[in-house]
């Protein structure tokens, strides 16, 4: 699977959020129709907890308009027939809403985690690339140093040979000086 950019992850998250909000508006319209609540763009937006912009957006606006028209053609007697929600019904709706909120929060947290993980993965890729480049640089520098060392080895061997010759020459010179010193001390007696 190809790594997605943060922009692609964010775009997908926004698409999913938009789909969820649009579905919530449609569900709210159905509930409002069932409960006999007066439907308007502002009332639907408030009940669905979305912006009024969304209820006017293409694909949603048509559903709100259809619901408004449906209510206009519904006889006024329906409201008088006791179609009000009871306390138990309201408590059930509240419990369902709380459960849905809980699920949406869990989904939001899951999406946040996925985005964090994706961004972390991308940061790791960037860091790994830099580390790989640094390793390549160090390997090249090491190769150059080994090549220079190989060129210097004959010189090192030559220096060691000259140091041995110098030590031998010093020893020989000391012996000569001692020999001469004994000759001079023997002549003076």
Q: Specify the range with the lowest mean pLDDT, choosing from 93-107, 124-138, 160-174.
A: 124-138
90 touches 60 (CB < 8 A): no
List of long-range contacts for 53-60, beta carbons under 8 Å, 24+ apart:
54/21, 54/22, 54/25, 55/25, 59/22, 60/22, 60/25, 60/26
Q: Say yes or no to pLDDT of 78 above 80.
A: no
Cα–Cα distance for residue pair 189/177, rounded to 1 Å = 19
Taking the whole predicted model, whether its pTM rises above 0.85 is answered as no
What confidence tens digit (pLDDT) does each residue in 84-111 have? 667 777 878 888 889 889 999 999 999 9
Q: Which two tokens stand for residue 39?
A: 């439907």
CA 40-99-24 angle, to 5 degrees, is 30
Contact 29, 63 (CB under 8 A): yes
Entry field: residues in the chain: 189
Report the greatest alpha carbon distance in the chain: 155
């Amino acid at each position: 699977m190809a790594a997605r950019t943060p922009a692609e992850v964010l775009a997908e998250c926004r698409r999913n959020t938009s789909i969820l909000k649009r579905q919530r508006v449609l569900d709210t319209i159905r509930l409002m129709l069932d409960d006999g609540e007066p439907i308007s763009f502002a009332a639907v937006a408030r009940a669905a907890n979305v912006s009024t912009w969304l209820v006017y957006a293409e694909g949603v606006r048509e559903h709100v308009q259809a619901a408004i028209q449906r209510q206009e053609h519904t006889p006024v007697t329906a409201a008088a027939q006791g179609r009000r929600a009871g306390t138990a019904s309201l408590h059930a709706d509240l419990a369902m809403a709380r459960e849905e909120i809980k699920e949406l929060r869990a989904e939001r947290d899951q999406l946040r985690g996925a985005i964090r993980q994706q961004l972390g993965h991308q940061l790791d890729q960037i860091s790994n690339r830099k580390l790989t480049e640094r390793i390549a640089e160090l390997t090249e520098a090491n190769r150059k140093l080994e090549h220079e060392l190989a060129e210097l080895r004959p010189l090192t061997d030559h220096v060691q040979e000259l140091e041995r010759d110098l030590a031998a020459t010093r020893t020989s010179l000391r012996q000569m000086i001692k020999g001469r010193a004994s000759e001079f001390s023997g002549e003076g007696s």
